[in-house]
Amino acid sequence: DTEVTQTPKHLVMGMTNKKSLKCEQHMGHRAMYWYKQKAKKPPELMFVYSYEKLSINESVPSRFSPECPNSSLLNLHLHALQPEDSALYLCASSQQYPGPYSDEQYFGPGTRLTVT
Amino acid sequence: AQSVTQPDIHITVSEGASLELRCNYSYGATPYLFWYVQSPGQGLQLLLKYFSGDTLVQGIKGFEAEFKRSQSSFNLRKPSVHWSDAAEYFCAVGSTSGTYKYIFGTGTRLKVLA
């Protein structure tokens, strides 16, 4: 199984709402990633988890809160978002610990988030 | 600093024609190199990767890429394009030492004419 799943596919939320995005993989990968992708732009790295510990936070605002409950699951908790946070949020996983050596990443289909 | 350049924002080809998408990188050593494809509203799918060894790598869907160290390039090719190849293509560079880095190029949007 080489699949990364993400739920929900679409999410519309107001600026005062709290919501969560979910990502799951069953490939035994030990690194998981959150990316943000605006239209016609490449993915921008937000967070990296390795062995269920936060390894990289690319200076993401605190209204985005990641969580890795176990090696297969990755959540992104959203609170008090702004309209400019509307984007496609992609989850990815890779086999290798993201130390000096990077590895191919497997991406989920993404969650299309709209903040109203 | 590590960077990836995809010089062509848009490319249009006719179905059945050959395709070459350009990717140039800047890195202190030989990096890990990847090509991904993204259909509209979808996630990214890995087409192929280069870590070391043979500089011509074969990927899925009939794609291949050639690593040219002297030109710092990793261009993607396909001999005959199908309409279903219309998508966004991203080149990516991964670090092989030091601080972890994984950088995507700005992408090339491929349009295929019937």
The mean per-residue pLDDT over the stretch B94-113 comes to 87
Q: What percent of chain B has pLDDT over 70?
A: 100
B104 touching A (Cβ < 8 Å): yes
Q: Quickly list DSSP for A49-96.
A: EETTEEEEE-S--TTEEEEEEETTEEEEEEES--GGG-EEEEEEEESS
Pairwise CA distance, residues B57 & A112, whole Å: 33
pLDDT in tens, B40-84: 878 899 999 998 889 999 999 999 999 999 999 999 999 999 999
- % residues pLDDT > 70 (chain A): 93
Question: What pLDDT, on the 0 to 100 scale, is given for residue A56?
Answer: 86
Between CA B105 and CA B21 the distance in angstroms is 12
The low-confidence residues of chain A, meaning pLDDT below 70, are: 1-2, 97-102
Report whether the peptide linkage leading into residue A8 is cis, meaning its omega lies within 30 degrees of zero. yes
**Residues in chain A closer than 8 A to B111 (CB atoms):** none
Nearest to B102 among A40, A55, A102 (CB): A102
Helix (H) or strand (E) holding A44: strand A44-50
Q: How far is A80 from chain B (nearest CA, A)?
A: 25
pLDDT averaged over every residue in chain B: 92
